[in-house]
């Protein structure tokens, strides 16, 4: 019988979770990230959703976590020990990823960005660019030989919208949907043009420049909640993979399960 793996990606705004049996993603769900949540509260949230799908935390055999929220990293460690009776694999220093990092300080790299890079390279080869549309819009670059080269960080669409509406009294929240034209004929249309089409233009421009720096082509893979909409408007995005991060977590778990003492990320490539 295949083991059940719970994969958790804790982002600044949302937490994405999924259950794998082998390579198959059986369930996935998304909850708001609550930075003050205790291990018990985290367990209750995920167990409740699993029970709605006909399962429970008790049926899980393993757990892997990537997190950009340190307090919740500890919370999920405690959840695994308390409710799953085994430690969680946490993506970070000391974890095997199969990818060398050619950046100044590997410890600074967000776990989700590394996971995405691993998944994209394993799925499509290199060179590749991963565009993740979340709280931040990030682009991560992997070489043709599978080396993580670095990337770009910019405000995400929702983050930009929050900044606009909080600092400009006459601007209101709008739905992030593509406008019918670039030249907005109302404040709402103008905001959608700037936020949505502006993000697409930024992504396309950056991808084109990255390809030039790589002296050739690169496969562009988009992920994140808004990736489907953006990909339809983009001239640079080749593939949309909404569950890329979860799949990367599954891959990294496979590299670390029963693998013995891992080597440190910052000290030597893998």
Residue 248: name the closest of 92, 148, 116 by CA.
116
| 136-142 β-sheet, strand order | 100-101, 147-155, 136-142, 128-133, 219-223, 239-240
Residues in the chain: 270
Of the residues 9, 23, 40, 112, only one is catalytic, namely 112
112 is an active site residue: yes
Q: Is 125 left (phi over 0), alpha (psi -120 to 50) or beta?
A: left
Scanning the structure block, which residue is given the tokens 């967000």? 110
Contact 143, 250 (CB under 8 A): no
| 127 preceded by a cis bond (ω within 30 of 0) | yes
- Phi first, then psi, for residue 57 (nearest 5°) are -60, -30
Q: How many other C-beta atoms lie within 10 A of the C-beta of residue 88? A: 20
Q: Which of 100, 107, 12, 19 is nearest to 64 (CA)?
A: 19
Which positions are annotated as active-site residues? 112
């Amino acid at each position: 019988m295949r083991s059940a793996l719970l994969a958790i990606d804790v982002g600044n705004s949302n937490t994405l979770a999924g259950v794998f049996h082998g390579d198959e993603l059986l369930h996935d769900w998304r909850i708001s990230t609550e930075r003050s949540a205790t291990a018990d509260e985290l367990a209750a949230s995920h167990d409740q959703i699993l029970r709605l799908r006909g399962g429970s935390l008790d049926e899980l055999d393993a757990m892997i976590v990537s997190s950009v929220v340190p307090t919740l990293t500890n919370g999920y460690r405690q959840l695994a020990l308390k409710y799953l009776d085994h430690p969680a694999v946490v993506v970070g220093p000391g974890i095997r990823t199969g990818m060398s990092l050619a950046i100044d300080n590997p410890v600074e790299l967000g776990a989700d960005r590394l996971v995405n890079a691993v998944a994209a390279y394993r799925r499509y080869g290199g060179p590749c660019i991963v565009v993740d549309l979340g709280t931040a819009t990030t682009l991560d670059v992997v070489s043709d030989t599978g080396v993580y080269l670095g990337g770009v960080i910019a405000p995400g669409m929702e983050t930009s919208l929050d900044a606009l509406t909080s600092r400009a009294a006459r601007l209101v929240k709008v739905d992030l949907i593509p406008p019918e034209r670039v030249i907005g004929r109302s404040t709402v249309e103008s905001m959608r043009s700037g936020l949505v089409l502006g993000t697409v233009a930024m992504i396309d421009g950056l991808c084109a420049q990255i390809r030039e720096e790589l002296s050739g082509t690169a496969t562009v893979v988009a992920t994140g909640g808004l990736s489907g909409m953006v990909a339809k408007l983009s001239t640079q995005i080749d593939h949309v993979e909404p569950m890329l991060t979860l799949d990367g977590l599954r891959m990294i778990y496979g590299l670390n399960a029963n693998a013995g003492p891992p080597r440190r990320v910052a000290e030597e490539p893998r």
